[in-house]
Amino acid sequence: MRATAVLTVRNEGAFLIEWLAHHKGVGFTDFLVLSNDCDDGTDAMLNRLADLGEIVHLPNPGPHEGGVQFAAMKRADTHPLVRGADWLMTLDIDEFVNIHVGDHSLTALRAALPVADAITLTWRLFGNCGRRDYEDRPITEQFTRAAPEVMVWPWRAFMFKTLFRNAGAYGKLGVHRPRAPTEAADTARWFDGEGRELEPRFRRGQIFSPFGRRNYRLAQLNHYPLGAMESYIVKRDRGRAVHGGEALGLDYWTERNWCQVEDSSIRAAEGLRAPHLARLRADPVLARLHAEAVAWRKARFAALMADEPNRALFGRLLLAPPARVVPPDEARRLFAFTRPPTTG
């Protein structure tokens, strides 16, 4: 069974080894990684990983019509690793598949939902929770406090990524879900991470799970969108992969800085990750490139703090408290004025 993960990166070499080791451990067999405009050596790391047979690296140079990720997906659509896969999933470097059932692998998740053609893995947002300094340690070990399992705002907290069967129901990759549905999509069976079969509307256009109910019994997608405050300033400099014209600010931070609940469930997959992490760390070329990416990140933060807008944002991050749950009556009032998008 071939399961291909598609990843788009820029200036994220410091996080690459942990991400790759984890997803190899949980059972992805192939990795198509697209990179663009890298200054920290991410592209060199990807070339080394390709030479070692760990991934396939596909450069994604501009222009990026429709945004960096949409351009990457368009390039990936025709690649043999995508066309020949049995299962597909598009992911970001700050997203980690976290499977709770069986041995915590993709095989166990598919066995729990044997008739599924698509499985939505709802984000669980992990906040910054006061971490100021970037550290070269696994993200999944540093950030362990997250949003509650059940809340009703903001709707972006319920967005998902989709693990889907590559059997002809969809013709194109999407950032959150497969696109270009064919007639076969009308009979595709979609399930969520709680194990519930989803309504027919999910077959053709939905990028968020139903609000106000649990979505994580079988699996979830750990999403670490903020990282340390220093990393957030560097992420702002990199720019957004989907909405390229929108700068990251306190608004993005506030909606994602969830620290209410301790969730270390991803540690159950450490045994699956460990041999891959050890193998990748043992390669001297990768080790050097990783160290250079870490040094670049520290130096880039220092350089960015010479600019007043970045200093001002960093100060606001220090001032800002974690997000708090919006009471149900206030959430209902917000929803009366809000129409979240359904496709992506």
- Tally DSSP H helices, then E strands, for the chain: 12, 13
Please report the pLDDT score of residue 238 as a whole number: 86
pLDDT, tens digit, 9 for 90 and up, residues 220-254: 999 999 999 999 999 999 876 655 556 899 999 99
Rg (CA), the chain: 19
The tally of domains found in the chain comes to 1
- Within a domain: 344: no
User: What is the Cα–Cα distance from 97 to 268, expressed in whole angstroms?
Assistant: 12
pLDDT, tens digit, 9 for 90 and up, residues 77-128: 999 999 999 999 999 999 999 999 999 999 999 999 999 999 999 999 999 9
pLDDT, tens digit, 9 for 90 and up, residues 187-229: 999 999 999 999 999 999 899 998 778 999 999 999 999 999 9
**pTM of the predicted model as reported, rounded to 2 decimal places:** 0.95
pLDDT, tens digit, 9 for 90 and up, residues 257-267: 999 999 999 99
Helix (H, G, I), strand (E, B) or coil at 212: coil
Residue 181 CB neighbour total at 10 angstroms: 17
Please report the pLDDT score of residue 340 as a whole number: 63
Please report the pLDDT score of residue 338 as a whole number: 67
- Within a domain: 182: yes
First-last CA distance in the chain: 27
Q: What's the domain range around 21?
A: 3-336
CB 59 within 8 A of CB 78: no
Question: Bridge-partner residues for 89, per DSSP?
Answer: 5
Please report the pLDDT score of residue 288 as a whole number: 98
Helix (H, G, I), strand (E, B) or coil at 190: strand
Tokens read off for 197: 């079969």
Phi, psi of 197 (to 5 degrees): -75, 135
pLDDT, tens digit, 9 for 90 and up, residues 48-88: 999 999 999 999 998 898 889 999 999 999 999 999 999 99
CB 124 within 8 A of CB 147: yes
Tokens read off for 123: 């984000």
Helix intervals (H) in 305-327: 308-319
160: enclosing H helix or E strand: strand 160-165
Tokens read off for 300: 């880039």
- Within a domain: 164: yes
Residue 171 CB neighbour total at 10 angstroms: 12
